[in-house]
């Protein structure tokens, strides 16, 4: 693990969860969309739409859940430090 995360406080976990959500959201899914477009148009291949939707939803909810858990851990840690 990065030393700043090991030695950082709960605010770091909150920020880390938020940054992961921002990076994995638009950038990650934009990259996957560009890759799928390249495969379908340039390679003339067909992607199974049902599996693509399942994979998209699983990855979306996985990133969302993990980001919420990191942010929640940071928020609860800050509240615990205050009281």
What's the domain range around 46?
Answer: 8-82
12 and 5 Cβ atoms separated by less than 8 Å? yes
Residue 4 confidence (pLDDT): 53
3 within a domain of the structure (yes/no):
no
Q: How confident is the model at residue 15 (pLDDT cuts 50, 70, 90)?
A: confident
10 and 70 Cβ atoms separated by less than 8 Å? no
- Give the pLDDT confidence of 23-81 residue by residue, as tens digits: 877 888 888 888 888 888 888 888 888 988 898 888 888 888 888 888 787 777 767 76
Higher pLDDT, 2 or 71: 71
Residue 25 confidence (pLDDT): 77
Q: How many domains does the chain have?
A: 1
pTM recorded for the entire structure = 0.61
2 within a domain of the structure (yes/no):
no
72 within a domain of the structure (yes/no):
yes
74 within a domain of the structure (yes/no):
yes
The stretches of 1-83 forming alpha helices (DSSP H) are 3-7, 10-22, 29-41, 49-82
């Amino acid at each position: 693990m990065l030393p700043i995360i090991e030695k950082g406080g709960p605010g770091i976990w909150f920020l880390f969860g938020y940054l992961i959500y921002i990076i994995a959201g638009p950038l990650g899914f934009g990259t996957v969309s560009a890759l799928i477009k390249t495969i379908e148009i340039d390679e003339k291949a067909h992607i199974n739409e049902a599996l693509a939707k399942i994979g998209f939803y699983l990855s979306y909810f996985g990133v969302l859940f993990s980001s919420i858990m990191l942010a929640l851990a940071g928020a609860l840690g800050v509240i615990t430090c205050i009281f």
